[in-house]
Amino acid sequence: MGVSTTDPADGIRRVTVDHPPVNALPAHGWHALADAVRAAGRDPAVRCVVLAASGRGFNAGVDLKEIQRDPGHDALLGANRGCADAFAAVYECEVPVVAAVQGHCLGGGIGLVGSADAVVAAEDAVFGLPELDRGALGAATHLARLVPPQLMRALYFTSRTVTAAELHRHGAVWRVVPRAALAAAALELAAEIARKDGTLIRLAKAAINGIDPVDIRRAYRFEQGFTFEAALSGVAGRIRDTFGTGTGTGTAAADTGAAGTADPAGGSKP
């Protein structure tokens, strides 16, 4: 359980998150993920990283129970710092990052996928930000990298989800495959990238990041200010108190539908 790394093929490092039941991460889990991705990018033998997860879903955001147990704000600060660290590590990784997504990808999962360079998804994957239903804000910056502006706003304000097939139609997902074929499909794309010259692929990654129209680190940090405001005003805790009767630790369940709402059995992302 935790974050592990393997080298499944020449030039490829796979970073896998395994935090049952729904991959809703505590603060230290986000930092561990960031450390693993950064280490992979710094390894001169690595030319592409695959970001994957074990279990029924890719990621369900932060562990809300960790925040609810804290009478102060240390857990919230830790979750926000951890998410920012992990999202930045994926985006700023020195080599391209391919996200392999199955099941639920909500809250912090959107932050990870929206920071990656390419996404391969299983047919059962669903994506969304149920933040407003969980007393949280954030990662609109990253959702905006996956869908057009008005769709991003509608999804954010309603807490609805979209399927992998829908994101594929918008161009955000490279391929949609049966779940059993997900690992192979992600490795296939990673291997094609990894066949490039290692020095040149690193220069290409830096160049592409440099021409992005939005500074996603700064934009996400701006969003986090409103997360803190919601917490200090008491509205975030009030909403979370009405939520905390589920059986899991995050916001996402495995069975959310197209343009549906998240089943409250998972996590969220402040």
The pLDDT tens digits of the residues spanning 149-198 come to 999 999 999 999 999 999 999 999 999 999 999 999 999 999 999 999 99
> Per-residue pLDDT averaged across 46-59, rounded?
97
CB-based contacts of 145: which residues, under 8 Å, 6+ apart? Answer: 114, 115, 172, 216
Which DSSP state fits 71? S
The pLDDT value recorded for residue 270 is: 47
**Whether residue 69 has pLDDT greater than 80:** no
Q: What is the structure's pLDDT at 237?
A: 81
Q: Is it the case that residue 246 has pLDDT exceeding 60?
A: no
Burial class of residue 143 (count of CB atoms within 10 Å of its CB; 0-12, 13-18, 19+): buried
Q: Is the pTM of this model over 0.85?
A: yes
Q: Is the peptide bond between 21 and the residue preceding it cis, with omega within 30 degrees of 0? A: yes
In this predicted model, which residue has the larger pLDDT, 201 or 265?
A: 201
**Residue pair 108/136 in contact by the 8 Å Cβ criterion:** no
H or E segment to which residue 16 belongs: strand 12-18
In order of their start, the domains of the chain are: 2-243 (3.90.226.10)
162: closest CA among 260, 254, 60?
Answer: 260
Determine the Cα–Cα distance for residues 155 and 167; give it in Å rounded to an integer. 13
